[in-house]
Every structure is written in structure tokens, then in C-alpha cells.
Amino acid sequence: MLTTTVCAALSAAGLAVAFLTAWRRRFVAATRIAALALVPVGLAMSGLVELFGEVGGAVASWASGLVLEPTVWAGFGVLALAVVLYVVARFAGGRSRSRAAADRPADRPADRPVGGSGPSRPAVGGGRGKGDAAAPDDDFSDIEAILKKHGI
């Protein structure tokens, strides 16, 4: 009952400020103030104020039990280990992919047909035009050609 009264008083004060702001012909600011002023009474009417109180009490009881229980601290240690392992795996995975791309030769033997006849590269993407002399792994050769064409 007391929380509803406090929320209603806060909303009434906010609406009074919004009215005074609108009196000075600052309607956009007055609308924003009125919107914020209606939040406390809306929270009280929907029952969310009591819900926040119960959640706060639950967090407080958990925090008070946190200090003396070794299993809780062991749980935090396990969570920290999980995060460290995940970060290490992401870092190692990124390095191995970039290292594999750097170690790969420009023309792999699997791309060449047996006997030396035919094109040395598969004709999947078609010709490159001006960028034919560039290495096949150079993904930026097309972009470089366009920038040179425009004088950049």
C-alpha cells in the first residue's frame, strides 16, 4: 500500500513538471517528462514493484550464503575455467585457420589436371580480366584494379 502511494506521488510530481514545461511551450520536452512520470504508477499498478522487491530479497539471501559456502566458490572456479578454455580454443582455432591459409601453396596439385592439358585453374568463377596476373589466393586484386581504374 505504501509503495503504491509513493509511486502515485512520484507520478503526480512528474506530471506537474510536465505541465509547467508545456506551459512554457516546450511540448516535446513536456511529452518526454510526462512519459517518464507515468512509469512509477505503471510499475505499481502492474505489480512489478513487488516483484523487484522479491528478486532483490532472493539476491540478498544468495549473496549472504555466498560468503561461507566453499561449493559456491568452487562453482565460480569451474565457471572461470570454462570461460578461459573457451577463449583459448577460439584463439587457437583462429590461428590454425590463418596459418593453414598461409601454408597453402598458390597452385595446389589437386587443381591441376593430370598430364598438363587444360587450364591450370578451374574455370568456376570465369576470367578475372585485368587481374589475371595476380595470385589466385589474392582476394583483393579485383578491388585493387577498380581503385586503380578510378585513380585512388
Label residue 33 left, alpha or beta by phi (over 0 means left) and psi (-120 to 50 means alpha).
alpha
User: 37: closest CA among 62, 19, 49?
Assistant: 19
Query: pLDDT tens string for the chain (152 positions)?
Result: 788 899 999 999 999 999 999 999 899 999 999 999 999 999 999 999 899 989 999 998 888 877 778 888 899 999 999 999 999 998 887 766 666 666 666 555 555 555 555 555 555 555 555 555 545 556 788 888 888 888 88
Q: Is 135 left (phi over 0), alpha (psi -120 to 50) or beta?
A: beta
Q: What is the pTM of this model?
A: 0.43
Phi–psi pair at 118, nearest 5 degrees: 90, 180
